[in-house]
């Protein structure tokens, strides 16, 4: 094992640079870059050859990477604040789909997901395969935003109606399951914050930043100055992200909530300069913070305690239920999208990873679940995070129409 801090730091960047090259050289794999980075980290870290183990300070950077990922997810949400008198039907449809219609689809999708996940958890409890059906249901209900967002970005669907619907549905699933998981776990090592207080403070903070920012941009005419000095907008966005993230941690809330609130506020403030600001922030994030997050998460995975013989016996059932819960709930998308898009969306939302690792680790440590169930849930997450993106990429490809032969 090589423990030099500089070697570890540089190795992460070498892996982050090499994985996109691998994806480009072998397009037949159709594995997203984020997945390749996680697998590479797993191979060189605790779950593989123990060549590189991230020090404690890199765990802080990993949390910053997760914060930044959620910040970019919030930034992707477009809510137009300006009314236009004459809008063509081509423009009106995406706005409507990306607004109230998308929110309604996300809510219905999550309600269906919750019902199916509770049924799946109860079924496994009846089969004596789980000690905590509620916790298992939460695992089935969650979606890995850390996988969904980069895949939507790579497939260029993030700005499309389907991408917006999947993004909002994944955000809602992730937030709600995080809150309920913290309530179910009751970890003695972490202070418990009041959920209503967390939501009220973060919402109030977001509104405060928004109104102060809008006052500064309009009344003080800072928008033109920010446009002229290119880095000021990026600095302001990073400051908003840091403040919201720090507030979430101070309230003992999940950092993903603070990051999303900060990104949403920046999206509201940017408006006409949204695409320019997002492009600059994505260059910073996908070049620095997010590769470090994915690679380090892979390095931290320790599979040595997993009893693979017991896990492999019940793994097919867990994986099947994991996909059926999300695909069944995705039927809420059918009135708006085609069956192919609906099923593909359900497959992508079946991906689970980071939250599953965190929740199962805590649950096993405090005795809510046993080692075998922990291994099952981790293995299920790994299978979904590998199969989900591959199936989604295949199903989301445009169909090739055979040329018509005329005589």
pLDDT in tens, 338-390: 999 999 999 999 998 767 877 887 787 778 887 778 878 888 988 898 889 88
Q: What is the pLDDT of residues 62-72, one digit of tens each?
A: 788 888 988 88
Q: What is the pLDDT of residues 150-206, one digit of tens each?
A: 888 888 888 888 888 898 898 888 778 877 876 777 555 555 566 678 888 989 999
Domain membership flag for residue 14? no
Range 95-120 average pLDDT: 83
Check whether 305 has a pLDDT greater than 70. Answer: no
Q: What is the pLDDT of residues 179-190, one digit of tens each?
A: 787 677 755 555
pLDDT score for 90: 35
- 378 contacts 357 by C-beta, under 8 angstroms: yes
Domain membership flag for residue 22? no
Q: What is the pLDDT of residues 206-229, one digit of tens each?
A: 999 999 998 888 877 777 766 666
Which span out of 23-37, 184-198, 326-340 was modeled with the highest average pLDDT?
Answer: 326-340
- Mean of per-residue pLDDT scores for the chain: 81
**Which residues constitute the domain of residue 103?**
63-396
Residues 6+ apart with CB under 8 A from 121: 130, 133, 134, 135, 136, 137, 140
pLDDT score for 306: 64
* Domain count across the chain: 1
Domain membership flag for residue 26? no
Which span out of 48-57, 331-340, 364-373 was modeled with the highest average pLDDT?
Answer: 331-340
Over pLDDT 70: what percentage of the chain?
84
| Chain mean position to CA 373 | 24
CA distances from 338 to 84, 287, 333, 334, 365 (A): 30, 35, 8, 6, 44
Cα separation, 197 vs 190, whole angstroms = 17
pLDDT score for 93: 39
Check whether 3 has a pLDDT greater than 80. Answer: no
State the DSSP string of 86-131: ---HHHHHHHHHTTHHHHHHHHHHHHHHHHHHHHHHHHHHHTT--S
Measured in degrees and rounded to the nearest 5, phi and psi for residue 2 equal -105, 115
Domain membership flag for residue 57? no
Nearest alpha-carbon partner for 342 in 332, 351, 352, 350: 332
Over pLDDT 90: what percentage of the chain?
25
Range 233-245 average pLDDT: 93
Nearest alpha-carbon partner for 182 in 293, 114, 107, 256: 256
Cα separation, 79 vs 271, whole angstroms = 9
Domain membership flag for residue 206? yes
Domain membership flag for residue 193? yes
Please report, for the domain that includes residue 119, its CATH number: 1.20.1530.20
Domain membership flag for residue 280? yes
Grouping H, G, I as helix, E, B as strand and the rest as coil, residue 301 is coil
pLDDT score for 99: 61
> In 10 A of CB 224, how many CB atoms?
9
Domain membership flag for residue 144? yes
Grouping H, G, I as helix, E, B as strand and the rest as coil, residue 335 is coil
pLDDT score for 404: 44
pLDDT score for 405: 44
pLDDT score for 395: 87
- 350 contacts 324 by C-beta, under 8 angstroms: no
Check whether 285 has a pLDDT greater than 50. Answer: yes
> Which residue did the predictor score with more confidence, 364 or 81?
364
pLDDT score for 401: 45
């Amino acid at each position: 094992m090589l423990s030099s801090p500089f070697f570890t730091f540089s190795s992460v960047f070498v892996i982050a640079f090499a994985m996109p090259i691998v994806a480009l050289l072998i397009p037949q794999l159709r594995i997203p870059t984020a997945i390749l980075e996680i697998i590479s980290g797993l191979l060189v870290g605790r779950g593989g050859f123990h060549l590189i183990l991230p020090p404690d300070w890199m765990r802080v950077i990993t949390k910053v990477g997760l914060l930044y990922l959620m910040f970019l997810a919030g930034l992707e949400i477009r809510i137009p604040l300006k009314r236009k008198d004459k809008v063509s039907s081509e423009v009106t449809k995406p706005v409507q789909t990306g607004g109230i219609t998308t929110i309604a689809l996300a809510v219905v999708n999550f309600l269906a997901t919750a019902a199916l996940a509770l049924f799946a958890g109860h079924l496994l409890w009846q089969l004596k395969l789980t000690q905590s059906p509620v916790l298992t249901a939460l695992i089935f209900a969650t979606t890995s935003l850390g996988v969904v967002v980069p895949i939507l970005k790579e497939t260029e669907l993030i700005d499309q109606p389907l991408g917006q619907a999947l993004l909002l549905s994944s955000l809602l699933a992730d937030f709600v399951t995080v809150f309920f998981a913290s309530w179910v776990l009751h970890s003695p090592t972490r202070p418990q914050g009041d959920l209503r207080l967390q939501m009220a403070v973060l919402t109030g903070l977001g509104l405060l930043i928004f109104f102060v920012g809008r006052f500064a941009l309009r009344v003080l005419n800072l928008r033109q100055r920010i446009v002229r000095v290119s880095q000021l907008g990026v600095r302001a966005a990073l400051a908003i992200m840091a403040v919201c993230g720090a507030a979430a941690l101070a309230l003992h809330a999940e950092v993903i909530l603070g990051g999303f609130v900060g990104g949403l506020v920046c999206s509201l403030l940017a408006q006409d300069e949204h695409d320019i600001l997002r492009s600059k922030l994505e260059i910073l994030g996908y070049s620095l913070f997010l590769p470090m997050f994915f690679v380090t998460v892979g390095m931290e995975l320790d599979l040595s305690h997993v009893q693979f013989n017991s896990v492999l016996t019940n793994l097919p059932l867990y994986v099947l239920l994991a996909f059926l819960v999300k695909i069944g709930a995705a039927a809420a998308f059918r009135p708006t999208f085609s069956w192919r898009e609906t099923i593909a969306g359900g497959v992508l939302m079946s991906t689970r990873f980071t939250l599953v690792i965190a929740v199962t680790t805590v649950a096993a440590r405090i005795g809510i679940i046993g080692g075998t169930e922990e291994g099952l849930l981790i293995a299920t997450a790994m299978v979904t995070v590998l199969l989900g993106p591959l199936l989604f990429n295949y199903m989301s490809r445009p169909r090739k129409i055979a040329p018509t032969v005329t005589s």
